[in-house]
Structure 1
Amino acid sequence: MKFISWNIDSLNAALTSDSNRAIMTRDVIKTIIDENPDIIAIQETKIPQTGLNKKHKAKLEEFFPAYDYVHVTSREGARKSYAGCMTLYKKDLKCMESFPEIDAPDTMDLEGRIVTLEFEDFYFNQVYTPNAGNELKRLNLRQIWDEKFAQYLSTLDKNKPVISAGDFNVAHREIDLAHPDNNHFSAGFTDEERQGFTNLLAKGFIDTFRYVNGDVKDKYTWWAQRVKTSKINNSGWRIDYFLVSERIKDKIKRSDMIDSGDRQDHTPIVLEIEI
C-alpha cells in the first residue's frame, strides 16, 4: 500500500481561492494524485467549524474522484478555522473511522488534530501535533500532549500494528534541520520536544525515513514561508513523519519526500509498505 501525508496549510484555501499560493497548492495536489496513493492524510485543513460547504464538496469530488474521506475540524471552544485533519482513502477500502480525544490539555482535544482509521490488519492514524508556539508559550502543554498521544498510539498497538503519519512539529535529531546550533531554544527543537519524540519511539515505533535512508542529511519536509530564500538554500526542517509499529518495519519499501516545486512550507511525504 502507498500512503501520502501532507500539512497543506489550508485545504480551505486550496478549494476556494484563486490566489497564487492556492494555485501552487493545487499543483501539489496533482502531483499527489499522480502518485496514486491508497490513503492521503492532510493536516491543517482550516475548514470552518460549520464544516464542508457545497463548493468544498464539489472541489473534493473534482480533485479526488477515486476517494472517500473523513475529516475533523476545530470545535466550539477552540479557535475557528484552525488546525483540522482529513483522511482520504480509495473507495474500495473498508474501514471504521474515529476522532479520538486523548485527554489533552487546554483546547487541544477541540482543535481537530487526530483521525484514526481501523482496517482489518492495521490502524492508520494521522496527527497534527500542537506547536510549542511563539516564545514557547505552549511548551508545557505540548509536553503533556506528547505523553497523552504516545499513550494513545501504544494502546492501539496492543490490538494491531499502527501506521501513524503527520506533522509532529519536532525535528528529532540535529541532522533533521539545517541549523541545529541556532535553534536549541526554538519551537520544534527544544530538548523537551525532542525527548517527547524519543519517548514515543521507545514505545515500539520506527521513524520510517531513518530506517530506510539511514543518516542521510539535507532532506527536509518544511521551509519557512517568511524567509524567501529558505527553500532555495535548503534551510529546512524534517518535522513530518511516517511512524510504524516496530514489528512491521521489515515490510517498509519506501519512505521519502515528494517534490513540491517552488511552494514553501511543508512538502508531502510518502510511505510504501507491504501491509
Structure 2
Amino acid sequence: MKFISWNVNGLRAILKKDFLATFTELDADFFCIQETKMQAGQVEIDLPGYHQYFDYAERKGYSGTAIFAKHQPLSVSYGLGVAEHDHEGRAITLEYPEFYLVTCYTPNSQGELKRLPYRLEWDQAFRDYVSQLAAQKSVIFCGDLNVAHEEIDLKNPKTNHHNAGFSDEERQSFTTLLNNGFTDSFRYLHPDQTDIYSWWSYRFHARDHNAGWRIDYFIVSNDLKNRITTANILTDIYGSDHCPVELVIPDLGAEA
C-alpha cells in the first residue's frame, strides 16, 4: 500500500498548477491532503477510481482536510469527536479491516506562540484519539503536524528556538505522542539524514537555499514499524510551500 500526504496550501489554487499530473504520476492507494482552504461545492475533482472525503472548516478559506482513497473504507469519521476541536476541518479517519488511516492538520501556534495553549489542548485530544484507535487495530496517521521534532529537522534550530513549531512545549508534546506507542516513519528508516525538509517559507528564497523544516509526517503505531519499506520526502515536487511525503507498507488489509 502506498500513501501520500501533502499540505497543498489551497486545493483550488494547486489544481491550476500540476496537481492532477502529480496525483496521477504518484498513483497512491491513499492521497491525504491538508489545508484545502475550501467549502463544500466549491470545486469538483475528477479522480476516477478514487473515493473522496472532505472535512471543511466552518471559517471560509481556512484549514480543511481531504482523503482520496482507492479502497472503500468500512467507516468514515470527521474530527476528533470533541466539539471544541471539530470546527476547523482538521481530521478525517478512514477505517479498514487491518488499520485506521487518519489525516491531520495540526493547529499552528502562531506568532509569539499566542495560540500555544490551544495547540497543546489539541495535541492532548489528538493523542487520546489515536491512542484509542490503536487499542483496536493498527493506526497510520499523517499530515502537517506543525512541529519540527529535533534540531536535525530544521535548518536553523538556534534562531528558531521558541518560535511556533519549534517551542520546547510542542517538541515535548510530540515526544509524548511517540512514547505512547507510535513511530516517526521517516526517522525510523533515515535516523541520521540531514538537510531534508518538507516546508519552506515563501520568504527570502528559502526553498532555493533549502532553509526548511520537516513538519509533515507519516506516523505509525509501533506494530507496523517493521513492515515499512519506504518513507520518503518528495522534495522535487512543487506547487505548494510544502512538498509531499510518502509511506509504503506492503500487504496491508484494505479490502472489506
Question: What TM-score bracket applies, with the shorter chain setting the length?
Answer: over 0.9
Q: Which runs of 5+ in 1 are unaligned?
A: 16-21
Work out whether 1:98 is the aligned partner of 2:77. yes
Aligned counterpart, 2:163: 186
Mapped contact 2:9–2:240 kept (Cα < 8 A): no
Match of 1:265, SS state, is: coil
Please tell me the residue identity of whatever aligns with 1:73.
Y
Per-residue Cα deviation, 1:68-96 (whole angstroms, up to 9, x for no partner): 11101012xxx322100010001x54431
CA distance in 1, matches of 2:159, 2:19: 31
Q: Is the 8 A contact 1:104 1:145 kept in 2?
A: no
Instruction: Please tell me the residue identity of whatever aligns with 1:231.
Output: R
Would you say the 8 A contact 1:176–1:220 is kept in 2?
Answer: yes
TM-score norm. by structure 1 comes to 0.87
> Which amino acid in structure 2 is aligned with residue 251 of structure 1?
R
Question: How many corresponding residue pairs?
Answer: 251
Q: 1:240 to 1:67 in 2, by over 3 A?
A: same
Aligned to 2:225: 249
Task: Measure the CA separation in 2 of the matches of 1:181 and 1:98.
Answer: 40
CA-based RMSD of the aligned residues comes to: 1.5
Judge conservation of contact 1:260–1:268 (CA < 8 Å) in 2.
Answer: no
Measured after TM superposition, the shift of residue 244 of structure 1 is 0.3
* More displaced stretch, 192-201 vs 95-104: 95-104
Cα offset, 1:97, TM superposition: 0.7
Q: 2:37·2:63 contact (CA, 8 Å) conserved in 1?
A: yes
Distance 2:189 2:19 in 1: 24
TM-score (norm 2): 0.93
Deviation at 1:33, TM superposition (A): 2.0
- Structure 2 unaligned spans of 5+: none
Q: Give the counterpart of 1:39 among 6, 30, 34.
A: 30
Q: Post-superposition shift, 1:36?
A: 1.0
The aligned counterpart of 1:52 is: 41
Residue 159 (structure 1) shift: 0.3
User: Following the alignment from structure 1 to structure 2, what is the Cα–Cα distance between the partners of residues 70 and 35?
Assistant: 19
In structure 2, relative to structure 1, the CA distance for the partners of 1:171 and 1:246 (3 Å cut) is same
1:164 Cα deviation after fit:
0.3
Return the alpha-carbon distance in structure 1 between the equivalents of residues 230 and 80 of structure 2.
31
Percent of residue pairs bearing the same amino acid type: 43
Structure with more relative contact order (C-alpha pairs < 8 Å, separation 6 or more): 2
